[in-house]
Amino acid sequence: MPDAVLSAAGKLRVAYKNAADDETINRLRAVMHAQRAIALIRKTSCIPFPEDLVSEIADAARGSA
């Protein structure tokens, strides 16, 4: 996994641990679930996963919770 992705995942975990309110925690949890789903799809799929779709999923997860 690229260093930038690992860095972003680490920052997300720190933000989750430091979150004070339920709304922020739920939004961060949704983003983490989306990231895990994307990683699983990429790992198990022989079809490349388009980067623009990754962005759309992450944006939707951030706004959905």
pLDDT in tens, 2-52: 555 556 667 777 777 777 778 777 877 887 788 787 777 777 777 666 677
> What does DSSP assign to residue 19?
-
35: amino acid identity, one letter: Q
User: With contact defined as beta carbons under 8 Å apart, do 32 and 8 qualify?
Assistant: no
Q: How confident is the model at residue 65, as a pLDDT?
A: 45
Q: How confident is the model at residue 3, as a pLDDT?
A: 55
Where b means 16+ CB within 10 Å and e means fewer, 20-54 reads eeeeeeebbebbeebbeebeeeeeeeeeeeeeeee
Q: Is 21 left (phi over 0), alpha (psi -120 to 50) or beta?
A: beta
- Reported pTM: 0.49
Q: How confident is the model at residue 52, as a pLDDT?
A: 73
